[in-house]
């Protein structure tokens, strides 16, 4: 079946612009996660959704970052007023449900470059 | 907080050599443990996992055993291939905390 998909695959933007990153999880997966992979910070958790709600937003690096999920499916990560330190690969993952034993399946990522 | 420590890379081996990549963790409770692999130009893929102490995860000739007494989850393969060249990430997922906590990754380079 189809895996997690993300768009765009690459995004180049100018400092100060807003960007939206999209994630389509595996059909039927109720849990969705966003991570960021950067050279300096490795792989870091940003936020997760159970259905449409996000109980834990503590991983978002600043108030310029926000995320939403609608219809229990597609999620959008928005970065406002982008900064050069936001340059990274943004990864989305989904799992059948929210449980420690569940495998998180990752998408290919969106590579963001802020000039 | 929870953390994962992996051996520094790169690990450079010849084809058919034995591989060990060390991984230790610090966590409260009883986390699940994972190895993910990232091949060049590709996304993260689950390699194997173990959800409780003494479980052994295995896949594609790789295996790792969940050792609670030593808080370790070392990755092993008896005979590596050039196609195994990739970055390997050890990770944990703790009950009640839904985020994967990753190690820094270990790059494996296998030469013919």
In this predicted model, what pLDDT tens digit does every residue of B44-89 receive, in sequence order?
999 999 999 999 999 999 999 999 999 999 999 999 999 999 999 9
Q: Is a pLDDT exceeding 90 seen at residue A42?
A: no
B93 touches chain A (CB under 8 A): yes
- Least confident span in A79-83, A98-102, B100-104: A98-102
In which residue are the tokens 């808080």 written? Answer: B71
Q: What is the pLDDT of residue A1?
A: 58
Peptide bond into B102 cis (omega under 30): no
Residue pair B68/B81 in contact by the 8 Å Cβ criterion: no
Calculate what percentage of chain A has a pLDDT beyond 70. 98
Across the interface, do A33 and B46 touch by the CB < 8 Å criterion? no
Across the interface, do B44 and A45 touch by the CB < 8 Å criterion? no
B26 touches chain A (CB under 8 A): no
Mean pLDDT of chain B, nearest integer: 94
What is the distance between the alpha carbons of residues A34 and A92, in angstroms, rounded to a whole number? 5
Across the interface, do B89 and A48 touch by the CB < 8 Å criterion? no
Residue pair A28/A99 in contact by the 8 Å Cβ criterion: no
Q: What is the pLDDT of residue B9?
A: 86
Q: What 3-state DSSP class applies to A97?
A: coil
B94 touches chain A (CB under 8 A): yes
What is the distance between the alpha carbons of residues B1 and B21, in angstroms, rounded to a whole number? 23
Among chain B residues, the shortest Cα distance to A90 is held by B43
User: How many alpha carbons fall within 13 Å on the CB side of residue A81?
Assistant: 3
Show residues of chain A in contact with B43, CB under 8 Å.
91, 106-109
Mean pLDDT of chain A, nearest integer: 92
Beta bridge partners of A66: A78
What is the distance between the alpha carbons of residues A49 and A36, in angstroms, rounded to a whole number? 16
| Main-chain dihedrals φ then ψ at residue A85, nearest 5 degrees | -70, -5
Q: Give the pLDDT band of residue B28 (cuts 50, 70, 90).
A: confident
Q: What is the pLDDT of residue A100?
A: 63
What is the distance between the alpha carbons of residues B76 and B78, in angstroms, rounded to a whole number? 7
Q: Is a pLDDT exceeding 90 seen at residue A56?
A: no
Among chain A residues, the shortest Cα distance to B30 is held by A100
């Amino acid at each position: 079946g189809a895996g997690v998909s993300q768009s765009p695959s690459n995004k180049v933007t100018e400092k100060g612009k807003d960007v939206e990153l999209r994630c389509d999880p595996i059909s039927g997966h109720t849990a969705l996660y966003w991570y960021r992979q950067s050279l300096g910070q490795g792989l870091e958790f940003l936020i997760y959704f159970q259905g449409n709600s996000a109980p834990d937003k503590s991983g978002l690096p600043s108030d310029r970052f926000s995320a939403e999920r609608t219809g229990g499916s597609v999620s959008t990560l928005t970065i406002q007023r982008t900064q050069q330190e936001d340059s990274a690969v943004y990864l989305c993952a989904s799992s059948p449900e929210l449980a420690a034993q569940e495998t998180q399946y990752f998408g290919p990522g969106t590579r963001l470059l802020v000039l | 907080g929870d953390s994962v420590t992996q051996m520094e890379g790169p690990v450079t081996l010849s084809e058919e050599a034995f591989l060990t990549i060390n991984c230790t963790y610090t966590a409260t409770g009883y986390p699940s443990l994972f190895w993910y692999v990232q091949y060049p130009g590709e996304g993260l893929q689950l390699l194997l996992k173990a959800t409780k102490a003494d479980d052994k995860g295995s896949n594609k000739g790789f295996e790792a055993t969940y050792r609670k007494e030593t808080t370790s989850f070392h990755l092993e393969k008896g005979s590596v291939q050039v196609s195994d060249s990739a970055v390997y990430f050890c990770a944990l997922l703790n009950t009640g905390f839904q985020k994967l906590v990753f190690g820094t990754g270990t790059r494996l380079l296998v030469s013919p």
